[in-house]
Amino acid sequence: MAESIAFSKSADRATIYAELAPQIEALISGETDLIANLANVAAVLNEAFGFFWVGFYIAKDGELVLGPFQGPLACTRIAFDSGVCGHAYSTRETVIVPDVEAFPGHIACSSAARSEIVVPIFFEDRVAAVLDVDSDRLADFSADDSAGLEAIARIIGRYCRFA
- pTM of the full predicted structure? 0.95
pLDDT beyond 60 at 1: no
Contact 80/121 with Cβ under 8 angstroms?
A: no
pLDDT number for residue 163: 84
User: How buried is 131 (Cβ within 10 angstroms: 0-12 exposed, 13-18 middle, 19+ buried)?
Assistant: buried
Question: Rounded to an integer, what distance in angstroms lies between the CA atom of residue 141 and that of residue 135?
Answer: 8
pLDDT number for residue 141: 98
Angle at 160 between CA 156 and CA 163, to 5 degrees: 125
What pLDDT digit, counting tens, does each position of 16-72 carry? 999 999 999 999 999 999 999 999 999 999 999 999 999 999 999 999 999 999 999
Domains in the chain, CATH or no CATH each: 13-159 (3.30.450.40)
Question: Rounded to an integer, what distance in angstroms lies between the CA atom of residue 104 and that of residue 27?
Answer: 37
Which residues in 62-89 are b (16+ Cβ under 10 Å) and which e? ebbebbbbbbeebbeebeeebbbbbbbb
What are residue 129's DSSP bridge partners?
58, 121
Question: Rounded to an integer, what distance in angstroms lies between the CA atom of residue 13 and that of residue 113?
Answer: 20
Contacts of 61 (CB under 8 A, 6+ apart): none
What pLDDT digit, counting tens, does each position of 107-150 carry? 777 778 999 999 999 999 999 999 999 999 999 999 999 999 99
Quick one: pLDDT band at residue 2, thresholds 50, 70, 90? low
Q: Which of 155, 121, 152 is nearest to 48 (CA)?
A: 152
